[in-house]
């Protein structure tokens, strides 16, 4: 009986960032739990994740969604509903990073990071929320960051955007919890993905990070599957506005 709380059979999940890293692992994990998947992605020719999901017996459609194109972002959720008939879960896992000293940080980099990490998250949440509030059910999972809590170094735009994602999650939860819609966020710690290659390759910084993580190692994309399935499933029906840290103990240090 208990394990049924974590099943997603009959559900449709839309996922950004599903072609690599955490987003890919989460999309495949949701499919393994029973959900059909809409991959919101820019590169329509990249079909390896779609094919892997289909080998698990799930339906998967690629929905055109270049996160730099406002029109495509606004049309993405209606396209999911058109393709599947409904949407039950939204996972905002896509994000970008730019590193520079604050005094040299360019306006272009600032705008790019805030647009991708925060504005598109807001737009997709709003579009999905319209469907979910109308249906009186739904799960939205945003990906925040340790830098929703801390300032970081040489990443002012990323810190600002992820602080915004955390606050947006709580703000939407305050409005939509009573409508049967759960809005929560996952807070990744330091994860061995392409975004963190520069840190991993910096011997001094890498050691500083590892010394600070109680678990003693970088996280892996697969470490986020359980958290995402929990927040997408009936097991989290009374969880609203929560920031679920998956960080090897970093925030508890």
- 3-class secondary structure, 191: strand
- The percent of the chain in helix, strand and coil, each rounded to the nearest 5, is 55, 15, 30
Rounded to whole angstroms, the Cα distance separating 15 from 223 reads 17
- 3-class secondary structure, 60: strand
Q: Quick one: which of 176, 82, 178, 79 has its CA closest to 129? A: 176
- 3-class secondary structure, 113: helix
Exposure pattern of 207-226 as b/e (b: 16+ CB <10 Å)? eebeeebeeeebbebebbbe
Rounded to whole angstroms, the Cα distance separating 85 from 183 reads 21
Q: Return the ∠ at Cα 226 (arms to 178 and 20), rounded to 5°.
A: 105
CB 244 within 8 A of CB 189: no
Q: How far apart are the first and last CA of the chain?
A: 36
Q: Which residues form the catalytic set?
A: 158
CB 237 within 8 A of CB 178: no
């Amino acid at each position: 009986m208990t394990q049924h709380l974590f099943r997603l059979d009959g559900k449709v999940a839309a996922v950004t960032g599903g072609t690599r890293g955490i987003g890919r692992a989460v999309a495949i994990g949701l499919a393994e739990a029973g959900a059909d998947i809409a991959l919101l992605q820019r590169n329509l020719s990249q079909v390896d994740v779609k094919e892997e999901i289909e080998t698990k017996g799930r339906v998967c459609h690629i929905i055109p969604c270049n996160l730099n194109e406002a029109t495509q972002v606004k049309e993405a959720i209606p396209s999911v509903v058109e393709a599947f008939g409904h949407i039950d879960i939204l996972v905002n896992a896509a994000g970008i990073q730019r590193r520079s000293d604050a005094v040299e940080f360019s306006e272009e980099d600032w705008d790019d990071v805030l647009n991708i990490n925060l504005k598109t998250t807001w737009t997709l949440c709003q579009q999905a929320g319209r469907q979910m509030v109308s249906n009186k059910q739904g799960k939205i999972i945003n990906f925040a960051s340790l830098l929703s809590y801390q300032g970081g170094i040489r990443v002012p735009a990323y810190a600002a955007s992820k602080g915004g994602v955390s606050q947006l999650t709580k703000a939407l939860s305050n409005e939509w919890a009573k409508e049967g819609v759960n809005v929560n966020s996952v807070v990744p710690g330091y994860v061995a993905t392409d975004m963190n290659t520069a840190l991993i390759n910096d011997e001094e910084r890498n050691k500083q990070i590892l010394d600070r993580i109680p678990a003693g190692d970088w996280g892996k994309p697969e470490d986020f599957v359980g958290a995402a399935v929990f927040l997408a499933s009936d097991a989290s029906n009374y969880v609203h506005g929560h920031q679920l840290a998956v960080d090897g103990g970093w925030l508890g240090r």
